[in-house]
Structure 1
């Protein structure tokens, strides 16, 4: 029986590449997102306008059918987005709400799914941001990603409600090398952007226990001159 990964945000730029990479390694890859990913083994669609509890309930109900008695070897939450804005800009408050929905709510649902369907000793990865670790004027983005960092610590605690031996970590990228980012910043130094498969290879190494990851670790993802390191 093949191993199974659930990619929350599996139709986004990073998520779609993660689904593809794990499938190429022979895994079953389930996508959870607001839209379908045709490359996924199966899809669960969520309503972004539903409450976080409603989203979690819906996904759990769908997975009862999709998974049956199967349990997840890894759950990778790579959902999110970006919106800037300083506190003196009114639109920054709307952006903050959006960032919270995209990053925090998705991470909360992912954590709940992990409590129900992750195997003992399985892997749960959330997506934070290096900018939130260092401090940023991007109010909504920084707020949401800092909350994801705290959630990572909470889920890594002994009484978190996750299965025995579950490993929880967050990746903290700077800028991902995606078509959307290239279109939006055509004059940037792409050698400082992280290729998606650099992340996928690391996630796969953690998921297969080929490389260790400390429980609760916030893993900075830094690319310089085309070389990526995970600190």
Structure 2
């Protein structure tokens, strides 16, 4: 198979629970997959390791250089940013600033860096997917201020990326998935009494992203915030 005929995806946050599922799913379909994360994912063909000690601008320089060297002139069909995390805390919390800083690094830094990668290395008509949260669409998040502000920033970024003049390649789609709760091992550990049938499975998300990338399912318009609403094990998409 010629190099130019290989489908390529970059998964930002490729070692996390969702990221690992996405890497495995795309790889199982014969795709070349690059993982960008703090730790390597052994299933990915290529791993680009992020140094968390670097500033945002230094991370940008390091990652863009590594992506350029790795692609060697090729382009990406999809950039899937599934990095993120959760931390609580209201304005009186001792860890308010610490947790807000962490949330911004995990969600905002990664999303903006993914947009920068897309501007340079995404194919025309490609997909840039970022990860928001339904909670940040529903109004304030008083018990998790840092999380809410970080996810709201991602939503704003997606809205801008979906507009003319955003800097993305021609006909590219930028959108965000906005889940309620993902069915991860960590969430099950800390919320053992929850209704798991209302949680969105990681496999569903991976399959959905693949279908959007390949055209097996029509993509929402660029700039869309797509809520993943799961009830009794069935997930519906609600576009905002």
Interval containing the TM-score (normalised by the shorter chain): over 0.9
The residue that corresponds to 2:12 in the other structure is: 8
Gaps in structure 2 of 5+ consecutive residues: none
Choose which of 155, 165, 174 in structure 2 pairs with 1:168. 174
Partner secondary structure for residue 154 of structure 1: helix
Residue 2 of structure 1, CA deviation: 2.1
Between 2-11 and 60-69, report the one with greater CA deviation.
60-69
Residue 91 of structure 1, CA deviation: 1.1
Alpha-carbon distance in 1 for matches of 2:237, 2:10: 22
Structure 2 residue 225 is matched with structure 1 residue 218: yes
| CA deviation vs aligned residue, 1:23-72 (integer Å, no higher than 9, x gap) | 01111110000110000010000112212221111111111221112100
Partner secondary structure for residue 134 of structure 1: coil
| CA deviation vs aligned residue, 1:135-190 (integer Å, no higher than 9, x gap) | 22110000000000000011111111111111000000011101111111111110
Residue 20 of structure 1, CA deviation: 0.2
Q: How many residues are aligned here?
A: 231
Alpha-carbon distance in 1 for matches of 2:25, 2:182: 16
Alpha-carbon distance in 2 for matches of 1:203, 1:54: 29
Choose which of 21, 37, 47 in structure 1 pairs with 2:41. 37
Partner secondary structure for residue 38 of structure 1: coil
Tell me how large the CA RMSD over aligned residues is. 0.8
Alpha-carbon distance in 2 for matches of 1:87, 1:97: 14
TM-score by length of 1: 0.98
The residue that corresponds to 1:73 in the other structure is: 77
Residue 115 of structure 1, CA deviation: 0.5
Alpha-carbon distance in 1 for matches of 2:234, 2:6: 32
Alpha-carbon distance in 2 for matches of 1:198, 1:5: 18
For 1:167-186, list aligned pairs within 5 A. Answer: 167-186=173-192
Choose which of 60, 66, 81 in structure 1 pairs with 2:64. 60
Residue 7 of structure 1, CA deviation: 0.2
Choose which of 87, 93, 112 in structure 2 pairs with 1:89. 93
Alpha-carbon distance in 1 for matches of 2:30, 2:6: 7
Between 209-218 and 6-15, report the one with greater CA deviation.
209-218
| CA deviation vs aligned residue, 1:208-231 (integer Å, no higher than 9, x gap) | 122222110000011110111111
Alpha-carbon distance in 2 for matches of 1:108, 1:52: 10
Whether the 8 Å contact between 1:87 and 1:93 is mirrored in structure 2 is: no
